[in-house]
Amino acid sequence: MDKSRNYKNYVFDLYGTLVDIHTDEEQELLWEKLALFYGYYDAVYEPER
């Protein structure tokens, strides 16, 4: 019997409970890039100034 295991699992932390994630949401560049990204999927947003 082969006791070796190959796992193909991924841990995804949607709410930041496993890893403490810090972001700077005040940067205009962040919102400009997100608006551009979502625009590729027909969700048009304009960043606030």
- What backbone phi and psi angles, to 5 degrees, belong to 29? -60, -40
Range of the domain at 45: 22-49
- On whether residue 38 sits in a domain, the answer given is yes
Share of the chain above pLDDT 70, in %: 73
**Does a structural domain hold residue 39?**
yes
pLDDT for residue 44: 86
Is residue 2 in some structural domain?
no
Distances (CA, A) of 28 to 32, 33, 34, 49: 6, 9, 10, 8
Q: What is the pLDDT of residue 21?
A: 67
Residue 8's pLDDT is what?
Answer: 76
Q: How confident is the model at residue 49 (pLDDT cuts 50, 70, 90)?
A: low
Do 42 and 48 form a contact (C-beta atoms < 8 A)? no
Considering its fold, how many domains does the chain have in total?
1
Residue 1 inside a domain? The answer is no
Which of 40 and 3 is assigned the larger pLDDT?
Answer: 40
pLDDT tens digit sequence for 9-30: 777 777 767 666 677 788 888 8
